[in-house]
Amino acid sequence: MRIDLHVHTSPRSPCSTIDPTELVQEAKRIGLDGFCLTEHQVLWNWEETARLAGDNGIKIFRGNEITTAQGDVLVFGLDQEIQGIITIQELHQIVKSAGGFSIAAHPFRGFKTFGVGQLGMTLDQACKKKILQFVDAVEIRNGRVTEKENEVAREVAEKLGLKGTAGSDAHEIVALGTWVTIFEKDFITEEDLLQELKTGKFTTGFGK
């Protein structure tokens, strides 16, 4: 089952130009099984996603991209919005209490972490990034970062024993499905998605 775990739409994410209806059509065209709406600090409600999915055969799941003082985190299974910037420790406690699942999003995107010129850090240095101590998984394939930044994330996840996920981080329709998370098992509900994330039975790959 091929799911793009990281997608933004307009106007909920002001940085995105993707119309939600167009998103469903494009997902079907390129052969995705579904995608996750992970707006910045905004959570879709269940009724809206059900209407958007309609009878197109595309599964739509809800997540959230939350800004912490240590970096961005994709969160699933948390039915609340978190405004403003909080610490990764605070977010970890909230997600843990809700039984949710958290993923460090693009953790080595150069301009937000160490600076592009410093991506030559050692693997041990990269593993000490604070956010990695308080998440369940690492986004190791992101469509908006460089190949090198993705590779650092992959190596770090492997060394720390954390599962790696993938998503396009699409802000334009052409980016949808650049990277996807491939689940072993088919599922329908958000509870199923959460369970499959927790079991770790997935890999990453190209979505088109």
pLDDT at residue 175, as a whole number:
97
| CA atoms of 27 and 31, how far apart (whole Å) | 6
User: How far, in Å, CA of 80 to CA of 82, rounded?
Assistant: 7
Amino acid at 30: I
**The two structure tokens encoding residue 199:** 């079991």
Beta bridge partners of 66: 73
Phi-psi region of 99 (alpha: psi -120 to 50; beta: other; left: phi over 0): left
- pLDDT score at 207: 80
CATH architecture assigned to 2-205 = Alpha-Beta Barrel (3.20)
Structure tokens that stand for 33 in this block: 């099984």
Kindly give the pairing relationship between strand 202-205 and strand 163-167. Answer: unpaired
Q: What amino acid occupies position 130?
A: K
Quote the DSSP letter at residue 163: E
What are the angstrom distances between the C-alpha of 181 and each of 77, 84, 175, 178, 185?
A: 17, 28, 15, 11, 12
User: Which CA distances in Å does 157 have to 18, 92, 105, 152?
Assistant: 30, 18, 12, 9
Q: For each of the chain's 208 residues, which pLDDT tens digit applies?
A: 999 999 999 999 999 999 999 999 999 999 999 999 999 999 999 999 999 999 889 999 999 999 999 999 999 999 999 989 999 999 999 999 999 999 999 999 874 444 444 556 788 989 999 999 999 999 999 999 999 999 999 999 999 999 999 999 999 999 999 999 999 999 999 999 999 999 999 999 998 7
SS3 74: strand
pLDDT at residue number 208:
75
φ and ψ at residue 159, rounded to 5 degrees = -65, -35
Domain boundaries, the chain: 2-205
pLDDT of residue 56: 86
- What global pTM score does this model have? 0.94
